[in-house]
Structure formats: C-alpha cells, structure tokens
Amino acid sequence: MLAVLEAFAVIAVIIVVGMVAGRSNVLGDNARMVLNRVAFHVGVPALLLLSLADSAPGQVFSMPLLVSALTTLVMFGVFFVIAVTLRRRDRADATIGAWAASWVNSGNLGIPLSAYVLGSTTEVSALIVFQTVVLVPLGVAVINSAGRDGGSVGAQIRGLATNPIIVGSAIGMLLALTGVTLPRAIHQPLELLADLAIPTVLLAFGIALVSERGRDDRDSRVDLWLAVVFKVLVMPALAYVLARWVFGLSPEQTAIATVLAALPAAQNLNTYAAVFARGEALARNATLITTLASVPVIALIAYLLGL
C-alpha cells in the first residue's frame, strides 16, 4: 500500500505545481499548448527512442506481455465499436475514448510502481514497447483517417511517417533489434531531452485542470464514465481472467499482468488530444478520475494477490 501511495504522490506534486502555475498564469495564456507540443515533438519521442534502444528484445517478449497486449487491444476495440456504433461518435473522438479505456500509464506511474510493488521494471518496459509500437500508431492512423485527407492512403502514410512519436519509436526499435549502441555524444543530449517528457505532460495536465473546461454536457459524460469503468474495473478483471484461466500463468505472472492492467489512463493521452484538438475534455477528465480511482484498486489487487 505504501509503495502505491508513494508512486502516486510523486505525480500529484507535479500536477499541483501545474495547477498553481495555471491559476497564477505565470507561464502565459498558451502555456498548456506549448508544454504539450514540447512533450509531443521533443520529450516523448526522445524518451521512447532511448527506452526502446536500451532494451533487450529477448527480455521484452513474455507471457505477461501477451496478456497485456491482448487485454489492451480488446479494451480499445470494444470501446471504439461502442463509441462509433452506439454512441455515434466520429472515428477521431472514438479513438480518444478508446485510448482512455486501454492505454495505461506505463511510464511515469508504471515504472515506479513496478519497481516498488513488483520488484522489476522488465514487464512494464515491455508494455511501453507494445503501446509505442502498436497502440499509438493504431490510434494515430485512425485519427488521421478521420481528417480531411482521410480518403488518401498517401496522406495517411505521410501522417504516420512524420509523426515524431512514431519516428522516435521506429528508430529506437531499429537500434534495439540491430544491437547498435548510440555514442555518448548522442545519447546524453537525448537523455536531457527525454527528461522533458514526464514533467511537461504533468504540468500541462495540471494547467488544464484549472483552465476552461469547454463543452462537457450530460451526453459526453456517458463516454467518460464508460471509459473510466473499462479502464479501472473491466481491464484488470479481463487481464486476471486471461492470465489465470486462459494462459495458466503462475501466480506471480498473473499478479503482474493484473496490476499493469489496473494502471490509470496514460497522461500522454492529454498531449495527443491537445495536439489533434479532439476529445480534450474526455482525455483530461478520464486521466484524472482513473488516476484517483486506481489507487484503491491497485492497493486491493496487491493485497489480494499477495504482492
């Protein structure tokens, strides 16, 4: 329980600093967008490039990763179908909601939680790889297809090829697979840039909490609470079922897969929503609510599964 609270406390402090900065407006009127763009175009690509480049492919692929991957894709797909068919949302807005229901905070929360609660960061690093290589490009492709150039295959390919997140991930994966090590003259500057990722995302999130909320009517709240229930309750339950009764994983591996699935919605979701100007209220509220709700859920899972 203490480890869970400790990991969440680190994030809460930075978010509160962002709220204070937003309320006092010391960073200016466009601070949130600037921070989000810094994260999207500089910090997060550098972080993902290094995370992938420094990983060992043989340690990444495991049974807990298989469970995490299946769980993530099922949650993304089910929410997306519900949003498009029953809720009548367009593909871009449905993607933001589907990300909120499936994209876990594996970086700034998952890594410290894994270190404190699970005693290893290998599994969460593997999840970062999967989300970076599969889930993010999948969502970006769908959002791009919903734009004005959605009918052009060439436009969609150009959108993916010029997306800094995908470019950074592709370079990092290529370095990992080939075993090429970056020289210190390149690695160290990238480390400094990567250090921008988490604080800029959290500061921007804190500013968003005290800024204009925009349209958030009763109808859109249905999407929000559907995403929250999927993320906080349904996703860890599905991971547990798959790990224990479908794949027959060991108790330790089952616990790892379940805890990872119970992580809240990724803070990076806010950056994507802001950059693409779609579903910003849903992204902001989903990350806040799932972060608060996941504290007792993860603590309960850790207690019940003997972590």
CA-based nearest residue to 200, from 12, 25, 33, 2: 33
The total number of structural domains that make up the chain: 1
Q: Residue 244 pLDDT more than 90?
A: yes
pLDDT band at 169 (very low <50, low <70, confident <90, very high): confident
**Size (the chain), residues:** 307
Q: Which domain CATH number covers 102? A: 1.20.1530.20
Closest Cα partner for 102 from 126, 78, 133? 78
Helices 280-304 and 218-229: crossing angle, nearest 10°? Answer: 30
pLDDT of residue 49: 84
Q: What is the reported pTM?
A: 0.77
Averaged pLDDT, 233-237? 97
Q: How many CB atoms lie within 10 A of CB 26?
A: 9
Backbone angles phi, psi at 102, to 5 degrees: -140, -25
Is the distance from CB of 96 to CB of 273 less than 8 angstroms? yes
Q: Say whether pLDDT at 292 is over 80.
A: yes
Across 156-168, average pLDDT: 72
At 150, the pLDDT band (50, 70, 90 cuts) reads very low
Q: State the DSSP string of 256-285.
A: HHHHHHHSPBPTHHHHHHHHHTSSHHHHHH
Q: Which amino acid appears at position 206 of this protein? A: G
Q: What is the pLDDT of residues 205-229, one digit of tens each?
A: 788 778 755 555 566 789 999 999 9
Domain with 224 in it: 1-305
